[in-house]
Amino acid sequence: MKKQLAILALISVTGIIFAAPQTFDFKDPKGINNAGFKLDAPLEAINGSASGVSGTVTFDPGNPGATQGKIIVATGSLMLPNPMQRQHMLGDKWLDATKFPEISFESKTFKNVQTAGDTTTADVTGTFTLKGVSKEITVPVKLTCLKDKLGDRVPNQKGDLLVIRASFTIKRGDFNIMPGQFEDKVSDAIEITLSIAGASPK
C-alpha cells in the first residue's frame, strides 16, 4: 500500500512538473524568426519581412488557454527589396522608426482554445502597438510545443521549443500611417504573417 501511494505521489509530482508554465524566449540565435508583411495595392504590391523578433511567452502545456506573452519586432529590421522604398517606409512620414523603434503585440485573453497532440489553436486578443498607436485586435494563432527539441536546434542546450504561427490583417490608417493617402500604391490593408520559435532551456 505504501509503495502504491509513493508511486501515485511520484506520478502526481511529475505531472505537476510537466504541466508547470514555461517561459519561452523568442530571441532566435539562428535568425529564422520573422514577421512577413504584404501590401497589395492596385498599382503596386509590396512584400517585405522583419527579422528583429524578441519577447517572451509563458506557456503551460497543461493549460494553453492561460498563455501570456509579448512579442516585439524592431521597426529598423523591416526589409524591402528596394532600398529607397525601405528608406521611405522607415522615414518620419510612414513608420518613423527613430521615434517608434518597436512594433509589439501583447496577449490578454485566449479564446476558442483547441489542443490536439502538441498543437494548440486559439483566437488571441491583445494589444497591437504600431507607430505609438495601440489597438486591441484578435489574432488566430497556432502554437506547437516541441518537447526536448531545443538541443536539435541549438547545440549543447537542453530544453523545449514553442513554435508560433499567426496570420492577420491590420489597416495602416488605424495606426496613423498616412491615413487615406497613396492607397493606390500603398494598400491600407497590411497582411502580417508571424513565424517564430521560442526556446525554454532546462
Partner 1 sequence: MKKTLRLIAAILLGGSIIFWAAAGANRGWTKTRVPIKIVDAVTGLEGIQWQDKFVPGVDFLGVALLGAGVLAGISIFVPRKSEPPTIETEP
Q: Which residues bind partner 1 (CB under 8 A)?
A: 30-34, 36, 44-45, 47, 49, 51, 79, 81-85, 144, 146, 149, 152-153, 161, 163, 165, 195-197
Q: Which is nearer to partner 1, 44 or 92 (CB)?
A: 44
- Spatial CB neighbours of 134, under 8 Å, sequence gap ≥ 6: 127, 128
Q: Which is nearer to partner 1, 131 or 153 (CB)?
A: 153
Q: Which is nearer to partner 1, 149 or 172 (CB)?
A: 149
Q: Which is nearer to partner 1, 143 or 170 (CB)?
A: 143
Match 505537476 to its residue by C-alpha cell: 16
Decide if 59 contacts 67 (C-beta within 8 A). yes
Decide if 38 contacts 11 (C-beta within 8 A). no
Q: Which is nearer to partner 1, 131 or 165 (CB)?
A: 165
Q: What DSSP element (H or E) covers 119?
A: strand 119-130
Task: Give min distance, CB of 134 to partner 1, in A.
Answer: 27
Task: Give min distance, CB of 96 to partner 1, in A.
Answer: 22
Task: Give min distance, CB of 45 to partner 1, in A.
Answer: 8
Task: Give min distance, CB of 180 to partner 1, in A.
Answer: 23
Nearest to 54 by CA among 194, 201, 148: 194
Q: 65 vs 95, 115, 136, 141, 164, CA distance in Å?
A: 33, 10, 18, 12, 14
Task: Give min distance, CB of 166 to partner 1, in A.
Answer: 12
Angle ∠(78,176,33) on CA atoms, nearest 5: 25
